[in-house]
């Protein structure tokens, strides 16, 4: 397979591993096309009979100095950390964008990587100076703010991987999964199954504060009652004490454990011992990457909401075959950012500003993580599924909607 788009790296040599539509019918057709493109790519890389590691087609060599004069390609900048402590996730995102360019056979996109670990301001300024009309990334919310201050005066929009809603808006769009949406989804689902009274365990800090606020609003909107919210520090003694306080205000039908999978595994036995033997344990999309949850007896029967994993599983298999290692779960955002860009580029004239208005079409887009769309405030709204943790496995008990 040859690289149909020209992808280059500024500041570092390339490393080899680690619709818009206005109706559901047209969105469904785009969903089918995206899936077919992806599956076709899988067939060309993963042969029948199992995986094998293949040598990737080498991308063009890195550019030194300015990019060549270009009249036929859209210039897209990818801002991710390619060195330093976050290089692993940054390279995984970069690899995912390469895979998407190959799978879509995009011939009119020139994507250039810029290493944010060497200085976000320098990377953003270089991206604008090179004539890029769209910035994909960066990863961290502080970097998004710094990049936006440089990109905004140039009229260049940003598709960021951040999930910090506070940095969205004014030409900054967030691809990251917003935690509040998974809390709202699981509360709505639980309320629909007869659960009216809710409790919560949330960590101290900004995430816990936001989770608490979201729970209060979601339960109120659903017509339920929040009985108690208890905070904890991430140590066993604090969690134990918090679980003992849960019953101070009466019984509850469900308890939200708003933390990652590792903390959920630690806290669940304490909930059963100190608080409630029967309350349904609920979780957020932070559990999506914790496969060991299925091996924890105290977690069996728990529910959580997250993006759909069907296409991601195929992508992960293909990624391992191509790069010899597992991708970071976040890398699906890199793949989806290219799918979105390729779709918009069908009606985007080279050399003109990126058509921002197409990003907020109410019909939305489809990617590895399912259906999503951007609100006017730049935050992505995602269709989420509900999974149940069983003995050694996860089961989808309420599928993600196919459209909006």
> Per-residue confidence of the chain (404 residues) as pLDDT tens digits?
223 344 444 443 333 333 333 344 444 444 444 443 443 333 322 222 222 333 334 444 434 345 556 678 899 999 999 999 999 999 999 999 999 999 998 888 999 999 999 999 999 999 999 999 999 999 999 999 999 999 999 999 999 999 999 999 999 999 999 989 999 999 999 999 999 999 999 999 999 999 999 999 999 999 999 999 999 999 999 999 999 999 999 999 999 999 999 999 999 999 999 999 999 999 999 998 888 999 999 999 999 999 998 899 899 999 999 999 999 999 999 999 999 999 888 888 888 999 998 888 888 899 999 999 999 999 999 999 999 999 999 999 999 998 87
Same domain assignment for residues 72 and 168: yes
Same domain assignment for residues 125 and 203: no
Judge whether 387 lies within some domain: no
Same domain assignment for residues 143 and 203: no
Backbone φ and ψ for 88, nearest 5 degrees, come out as -60, -50
Same domain assignment for residues 134 and 240: no
CA–CA dist 217, 214 (Å, integer): 5
CATH code, domain with 270: 3.40.50.2300
Judge whether 402 lies within some domain: no
Domain that residue 197 falls in: 179-306
Same domain assignment for residues 159 and 194: no
Judge whether 192 lies within some domain: yes
Give the residue from 74, 99, 139 showing the smallest Cα distance to 341: 74
DSSP-derived 3-state class of residue 108: coil
Same domain assignment for residues 121 and 169: yes
Give the residue from 123, 104, 122 showing the smallest Cα distance to 113: 123
- The domain boundary, picked from 288, 306, 324, lies at 306
Same domain assignment for residues 211 and 154: no
Strand 254-257 vs strand 197-203: parallel, antiparallel, or unpaired?
parallel
Which pTM value belongs to this model? 0.80
Judge whether 233 lies within some domain: yes
Judge whether 214 lies within some domain: yes
Same domain assignment for residues 140 and 208: no
Measured from the Cβ of residue 36, the count of other Cβ atoms closer than 10 Å reads: 10
Spatial neighbors of 240 by CB under 8 A, at least 6 apart, are: 270, 274
Same domain assignment for residues 167 and 32: yes
Structural domain total, the chain? 2
Same domain assignment for residues 201 and 295: yes
Give the residue from 393, 339, 403, 336 showing the smallest Cα distance to 369: 336
């Amino acid at each position: 397979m040859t690289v149909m788009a020209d992808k280059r790296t500024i500041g570092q040599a390339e490393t080899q591993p680690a619709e818009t539509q206005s109706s559901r019918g047209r969105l469904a057709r785009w969903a089918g096309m995206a899936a077919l493109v992806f599956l076709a790519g899988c067939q060309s890389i993963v042969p029948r009979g199992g995986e094998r590691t293949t040598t990737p087609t080498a991308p063009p060599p890195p550019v030194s100095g300015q990019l060549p004069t270009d009249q036929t390609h859209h210039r897209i900048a990818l801002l991710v950390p390619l060195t330093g402590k976050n290089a692993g996730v940054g390279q995984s995102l970069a690899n995912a964008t390469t895979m998407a360019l190959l799978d879509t056979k995009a011939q009119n996109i020139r994507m250039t990587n810029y290493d944010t670990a060497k200085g976000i301001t320098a990377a953003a300024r270089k991206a604008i100076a090179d004539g890029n009309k769209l910035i994909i990334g960066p990863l961290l919310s502080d970097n998004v703010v710094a990049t936006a201050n440089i990109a905004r005066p140039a009229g260049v929009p940003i598709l960021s991987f951040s999930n910090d809603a506070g940095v969205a808006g004014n030409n900054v769009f967030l691809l990251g999964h917003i935690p509040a949406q998974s809390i709202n989804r699981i509360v709505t689902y639980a309320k629909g199954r007869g659960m009216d009274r809710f409790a919560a365990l949330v960590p101290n800090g900004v995430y816990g504060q936001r989770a608490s606020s979201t729970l209060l609003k979601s339960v109120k909107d659903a017509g339920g009652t929040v009985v108690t919210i208890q905070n904890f520090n991430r140590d066993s003694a604090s969690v134990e004490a918090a679980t003992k306080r849960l019953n101070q205000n009466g019984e509850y039908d469900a308890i939200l454990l708003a933390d990652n999978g590792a903390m959920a595994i630690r806290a669940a036995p304490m909930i059963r011992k100190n608080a409630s033997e029967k309350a349904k344990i609920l979780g957020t999309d932070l559990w999506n990457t914790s496969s060991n949850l299925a091996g924890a007896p105290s977690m069996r029967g728990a529910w959580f909401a997250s993006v759909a994993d069907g296409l991601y599983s195929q992508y992960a298999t293909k990624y391992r075959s191509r790069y010899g290692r597992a991708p970071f779960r976040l890398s699906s955002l890199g793949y989806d950012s290219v799918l979105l860009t390729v779709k918009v580029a069908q009606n985007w004239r080279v050399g003109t500003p990126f058509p921002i208005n197409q990003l907020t079409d109410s019909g939305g887009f489809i990617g590895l993580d399912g259906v999503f769309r951007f609100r006017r405030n730049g935050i992505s709204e995602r269709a989420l599924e509900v999974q149940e943790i069983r003995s050694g496995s996860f089961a989808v008990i309420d599928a993600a909607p196919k459209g909006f």
